[in-house]
């Protein structure tokens, strides 16, 4: 059984979708043009821009590539770009974290 999507995830997907739509408009792309550049359907672009969290990670990255924002996305999730990550960078990371 699939777990329900959390409110926090839904809100993040909506905000990211709005940002994708803004980037698309800044570039002057139609949804179809972005879809063609990202090798997805126009409907998938619509779902992403409307905050559908079930859009695949691969699709999200393809759209980021088409919008030239992949480096910014990678930097946003780089732990060493945060105070916490830099503070803990001297520690040896375990190969595997057991739960």
Residue 97 included in any domain: no
pLDDT band at 99 (very low <50, low <70, confident <90, very high): confident
Number of Cβ atoms within 10 Å of the Cβ of 36: 15
96 assigned to some structural domain: no
Opening angle at CA 39, ends 5 and 70, nearest 5: 65
Q: What is the mean pLDDT of residues 72-81?
A: 94
Question: CATH number of the domain that 66 lies in?
Answer: 1.10.260.40
Q: Binning pLDDT at 50, 70 and 90, where does residue 88 land?
A: confident
Could you tell me the pTM of the whole model?
Answer: 0.86
Tell me if 60 is assigned to some domain. yes
The reply to whether 94 falls in a domain is no
pLDDT reading at 23 higher than 80: yes
Q: Is residue 2 part of a domain?
A: no
Residue 78: inside a domain, yes or no? yes
Total structural domains within the chain: 1
Which residue range forms the structural domain that includes residue 63?
7-87
């Amino acid at each position: 059984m699939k777990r329900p999507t959390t409110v926090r995830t839904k809100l993040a997907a909506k905000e990211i979708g709005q940002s994708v739509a803004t980037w698309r408009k800044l570039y002057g792309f139609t949804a179809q043009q972005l879809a063609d550049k990202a090798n997805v359907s126009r409907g998938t672009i619509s779902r992403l821009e409307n905050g559908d969290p079930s859009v695949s990670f691969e699709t999200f990255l393809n759209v980021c590539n088409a919008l030239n924002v992949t480096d910014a996305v990678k930097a946003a999730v780089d732990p060493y770009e945060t105070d916490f990550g830099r503070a803990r960078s001297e520690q040896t990371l375990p190969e595997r974290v057991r739960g």
